[in-house]
Amino acid sequence: MGEILALVEARLRTALGEPDARAAVTFLGTDRIEVLRFVDGDVVRYATLGMSAQPMADPTAALADPVKGPRAELVLSVRAGLADTDKVLRGLAVLAASPQVEGLIVAPGASLDLGKPLWPGAPFSSVLVAESGGLVEDLELDEPMEPVRFLPLLPMTHNEAAWKRVRGAQELQERWLSHGTDLRDPLRTSVTLD
């Protein structure tokens, strides 16, 4: 487990630079989850470290495989200085612990909901999980382990989350793209939905 997390942290540092802050959260019955903060000009990136220590298990499986299964870490990017986004650290740790706590498999297209604002005053309480491989390249592990995927999180307003449940992740992403939505804006309003 420690060896995997060392490789994951090295990959994050290679892609995002040196973290300028880190916080750790441990929930009862789960492994420790850290959240690292990286500043890149006017963008702040928060990345989890610890979610990939164990593979995510199918909640319907009788026995969880300790080696095989998808592994992931979460990455959230927001514009710096517009909101108190550092308060997202605990929320990100909660989302990263959800595979252990709730038996979820976090994959692209999924919605994750905190049930409260991501940070104080945020118009978002949920996120859309996007495809990996863009900002931070997947980390290949020795067989039979699956690679660690670094999944970007895209904050959704309540209306966007409801629209996504009906129309799907792909249509919401296309709507954001066609309207030129700045998904890094921590104060943005909902995209126009019809």
pLDDT tens digits, one per residue of 34-63: 999 999 999 999 999 999 999 998 766 767
CA-based nearest residue to 11, from 138, 126, 106, 103:
138
Q: Which residues of the chain fall short of a pLDDT of 50?
A: none
The verdict on pTM exceeding 0.85 is yes
CA-based nearest residue to 161, from 93, 110, 96, 92:
110
The C-alpha angle with vertex 159 and arms to 102 and 33, in degrees rounded to 5, equals 30
Question: Percent of the chain at pLDDT above 70?
Answer: 96
Residue 179 has a pLDDT of: 95
